[in-house]
Amino acid sequence: MAKVTVAELTRRKAQGQRIAMLTAYDYPMAKLVDDAGTDIVLVGDSLGMVVLGYESTTPVTMDEMLHHAKAARRGVTRALLVGDMPFLSIRGSTVDAVRNAARFVQEAGCDAVKLEWRQGIEDTAKAITDAGIPVMGHVGLTPQTAAAEGGLGMRGKDAETALRIIGQAVALAEVGCFAIVVECVPDEVAQEITERLRIPTIGIGSGPHCDGQVLVLHDLLGLYERFTPKFVKRYASLAPAIRDALSGYLRDVRSGAYPGEAHTRRMAPEELSRLRAELGPAR
């Protein structure tokens, strides 16, 4: 299958073809996600919670993001690989933000970066796109700043805030973003954004009218049990299966059942005889 490009995603929007996006944070999972035919693989700062065990995405650093993006790159050959710019990476000067975006491309091999909406982010997004780096925007619920905005939950529930979010999406499109993630807004708001933009919208918790959908892989697979967002559909419950496998291993080791004959390799008899002759009797 051909490599997914920004141009291909734009074409799919125009032709009404749905786009599937998933997160991945390491080589084996990224390879599985890519092999399955996923269109976009996001190395999300959600790794702070589902991989690193932080309480939120805010503490995630550039070094942590790049470490995981490099691993994911080794597993992704077809999908568009997007690196999520962490909280502090876009809080300094525009020059610093462009430099950090470039690190995702140059050091980790990402095809694009994603940044969350905040006041004035349009200038940053434009500077990054002007530097030749494709940018995916993110409006609605923005997890990096959620604590300062009343916590996690639906955004755009009233006309005033809905208009603000729609305006943010339009502004990001106007400065050159190639796609917009729309998180946790009412279906009607997501539909308005999707119909007003020529670039694809990727929904998460925002209903069926976006051009595509994204989920955190650990939520989809049932690996992250601290909490599950209401909008998540679990396609597997791997955490209990992993616990069962680990319990079986511990039981077999403690009982002596593992390793058994099938898992044991032995020396040729003549070599064993030579070894014992050289060693002599054990004390």
Catalytic residue list: 183
Return the number of other C-beta atoms located less than 10 Å from residue 50's C-beta: 19
Query: Do the strands 179-183 and 19-23 form a parallel or antiparallel pair, or are they unpaired?
Result: unpaired
Distance separating alpha carbons of residues 174 and 171, to the nearest angstrom: 5
Query: Do the strands 80-84 and 112-114 form a parallel or antiparallel pair, or are they unpaired?
Result: parallel
Query: Do the strands 201-204 and 135-140 form a parallel or antiparallel pair, or are they unpaired?
Result: unpaired
Query: Do the strands 19-23 and 80-84 form a parallel or antiparallel pair, or are they unpaired?
Result: unpaired
Backbone torsions φ then ψ of 192, nearest 5 degrees: -60, -45
For residue 41, the surrounding DSSP H or E stretch is strand 40-43
Distance separating alpha carbons of residues 124 and 102, to the nearest angstrom: 13
Give the length of the chain. 283
